């Protein structure tokens, strides 16, 4: 490779590096909020029928009273009360 070609590649590499360092967004420190970052909550999973899932999601969206986690929490607490 000739000196001119290597100089050209060096300049291209340098300009690309400058572009990427200039366009990177600055990180802002935000405090984590929500259930995911709350140590009092734990993520659990369960298998339910697809039709049940769709019906529950529709009703939760239509009623806008609570989210899925709140629904599951209330049902589990009710079950505990019934069986304790």
The string of pLDDT tens digits covering residues 10-41 is: 777 776 666 655 566 667 777 778 999 999 99
Apex 68 CA angle, 62 and 70, nearest 5: 110
Residue 8 within a domain? no
Least confident residue range of 3-12, 38-47, 66-75: 3-12
| Region 36-55 average pLDDT | 96
Query: According to the model, what pLDDT value does residue 16 have?
Result: 66
Query: According to the model, what pLDDT value does residue 44 have?
Result: 94
Residue 58 within a domain? yes
Query: According to the model, what pLDDT value does residue 4 have?
Result: 72
Residue 30 within a domain? no
CA-to-CA distance for 20 and 35, rounded, in angstroms? 35
In this prediction, residue 80 has a pLDDT band, given cuts at 50, 70 and 90, of very high
User: How many domains does the chain divide into?
Assistant: 1
Given a cut of 90, whether residue 55 has pLDDT beyond it is yes
Residue-range definition of the domain harbouring residue 52? 45-84
Residue 7 within a domain? no
Token pair for residue 61? 């969206």
Residue 21 within a domain? no
Residue 84 within a domain? yes
Residue 76 within a domain? yes
Residue 80 within a domain? yes
């Amino acid at each position: 490779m000739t000196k001119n070609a290597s100089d050209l590649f060096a300049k291209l590499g340098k300009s690309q590096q400058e572009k990427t360092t200039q366009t990177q967004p600055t990180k802002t420190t935000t405090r984590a909020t929500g259930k995911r970052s709350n140590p009092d909550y734990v993520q659990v999973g369960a298998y339910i029928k697809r039709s049940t899932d769709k019906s529950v999601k529709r009703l939760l969206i239509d009623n806008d009273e609570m989210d899925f986690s709140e629904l599951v929490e209330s049902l589990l607490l009710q079950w505990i009360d019934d069986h304790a």
